[in-house]
């Protein structure tokens, strides 16, 4: 069976200085691409960590996050001209979906 890889529709950024490691985003993420890091930030919290691929850009993690500025979600705008370039090529045209 051939596995078809879906193109990422979003990009997640976590500010490790703001994240308090509550895990609400981990539980709320539909594609399950967020996990708590094994490393601690300078406050001693295990912060959220994005897997680097698989984000749908839904913004649910942003909505459940109690810390202002901890999570930013960018939703990719895929234009036919950059469709073959992947998410990196489309980030320039990304619209901010949600940002604390």
Q: Residues 20-61: pLDDT tens digits?
A: 999 999 999 999 999 999 999 999 999 999 998 899 999 999
State whether CATH 3.30.70.20 applies to domain 10-99: yes
Q: What is the pTM of this model?
A: 0.71
Express as a percent the part of the chain with pLDDT over 70. 72
Helices (H), 1-100: 24-28, 60-64, 86-90
pLDDT tens digits along 57-89:
999 999 999 999 999 999 887 766 655 555 555
Higher pLDDT, 33 or 98: 33
Write down the domain spans for the chain.
10-99
- Model confidence at 9: pLDDT above 90: no
Tell me, what DSSP letter sits at residue 94? P
Give the residue from 71, 77, 79, 72 showing the smallest Cα distance to 91. 77
């Amino acid at each position: 069976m051939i596995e078809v890889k879906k193109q990422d529709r979003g990009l997640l950024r976590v500010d490790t200085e703001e994240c308090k490691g509550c895990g609400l985003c981990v539980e709320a993420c539909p594609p399950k691409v967020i996990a708590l890091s094994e490393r601690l930030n300078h406050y001693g919290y295990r912060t959220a960590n994005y897997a680097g691929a698989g984000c749908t850009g839904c913004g649910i993690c942003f909505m459940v996050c109690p810390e202002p500025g901890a999570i930013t979600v960018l939703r990719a705008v895929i234009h036919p001209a950059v469709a073959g370039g992947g998410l990196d090529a489309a980030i320039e045209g990304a619209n901010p979906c949600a940002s604390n």
